[in-house]
Structure 1
Amino acid sequence: MRYFEDIVVGQRVKGTDTYTLTAEEIKTYAAQWDPLPFHTDEEAARQSPIGKLFASSIHTVALGVKLSHAIKQDAMAVIAGLGWDEVRFHLPVCADDTLRVEAEICSKRESISKPDRGICVTLIELYNQHDQLAVEYKIASLVMKREA
């Protein structure tokens, strides 16, 4: 377990896990959470500017979260997520894309109101099989300090 004191600003980690997204998964997710035709119907997707079935933006972010939790290292002693910032979608994530994640600690500071914890901001980047950046976002997390 990595506590606030163990976290180094600028540390960058490449995830080793990958995830290949299927057309069925895109359609199933979208049918429940973002039922736009270009996410649920392959013919409608072919008629869109993307030209093929692509994942909902929130589905793509969820995949980034999944892959970031699978990074092979000691987990941070996270209490809670505090917010997401600077979410950017650079490329659509399409059926049969294989995704991987990289994470970098951007900043950290001690909590003003709770001396037993701190706040860390992590940049999450999601890349496709061509090493193209598809999505990036920053997550602020509340992290425990090591007990005195």
Structure 2
Amino acid sequence: MRHFEDIDVGSRESFGSYKVTRDEVIDFASRYDPQPFHLDEEAAAQTYFGRLSASGWHTCAMTMRMMVDNMGEDATASLGSPGIDELRWLRPVYPGDTLRCESEVLEKRRSRSRPEMGLFKSRLKTFNQHDEAVLEMVSNGLIKVRDPAAPMES
């Protein structure tokens, strides 16, 4: 199981594969982001998107799914997240796209108030099948420390 001590600043990882379907785009938009360009082909054709496109929030959800699947494969001692510092939707995501992710650890630190956990910051990018970035975010992850009694680095 990967713990705080196993995370190296600067390390990079590629993971995931998610096929975007028309039905899922419409279902998500119907429930959470019911704008015409996420729901209707004809309405979408009249916009910047040019055709039906996934909600940015749906892109986030698909990215999250790939992240969680990847954490399970690595058996990461995750404790969740206190949030995201930056989020950008760089390109539309369309039905038929296949998404994948790349991440880089930017920094990490032990919690002074809760020595059993650490925090790490990562830049995550989601790409489509043309290797075009569609989403970029800087996220914060909480993770268990293997040995909370170990001294903290200064």
Q: Distance in 2 between matches of 1:59 and 1:78?
A: 23
In structure 1, what residue type is equivalent to 2:132? Q
Corresponding residue for 2:30? 31
Does 1:4 pair with 2:1? no
Equivalent residue pairs, number: 147
Q: CA RMSD in A?
A: 1.3
1:1-148 correspondence runs (5 A): 1-15=1-15, 17-71=16-70, 73-147=73-147
Runs of 4 or more, structure 1, over 4 Å off, are none
Q: Distance in 1 between matches of 2:30 and 2:55?
A: 10
Using the TM superposition, give the Cα deviation of residue 70 of structure 1 relative to its aligned residue in structure 2, in angstroms: 2.4
- Please tell me whether the aligned partners of residues 128 and 134 of structure 1 are also in contact (alpha carbons under 8 angstroms): yes
1:1-41 deviation per Cα after TM superposition (whole angstroms, max 9, x unaligned): 111111101110111x3111111110111000000011011
- Please tell me whether the aligned partners of residues 90 and 135 of structure 1 are also in contact (alpha carbons under 8 angstroms): yes
Using the TM superposition, give the Cα deviation of residue 117 of structure 1 relative to its aligned residue in structure 2, in angstroms: 1.3
- Please tell me whether the aligned partners of residues 101 and 125 of structure 2 are also in contact (alpha carbons under 8 angstroms): yes
1:27-81 deviation per Cα after TM superposition (whole angstroms, max 9, x unaligned): 1110000000110111101111111010101100111111122237523211121
SS of residue in 1 equivalent to 2:93: coil
TM-score normalised according to structure 1 size: 0.93
Q: Distance in 2 between matches of 1:106 and 1:41?
A: 40
Gaps spanning 5+ residues in structure 2: where? 150-154
- Please tell me whether the aligned partners of residues 21 and 96 of structure 2 are also in contact (alpha carbons under 8 angstroms): yes
In structure 1, what residue type is equivalent to 2:142? L
In structure 1, what residue type is equivalent to 2:14? K
Gaps spanning 5+ residues in structure 1: where? none
Corresponding residue for 2:152? none
Q: Distance in 1 between matches of 2:112 and 2:23?
A: 46
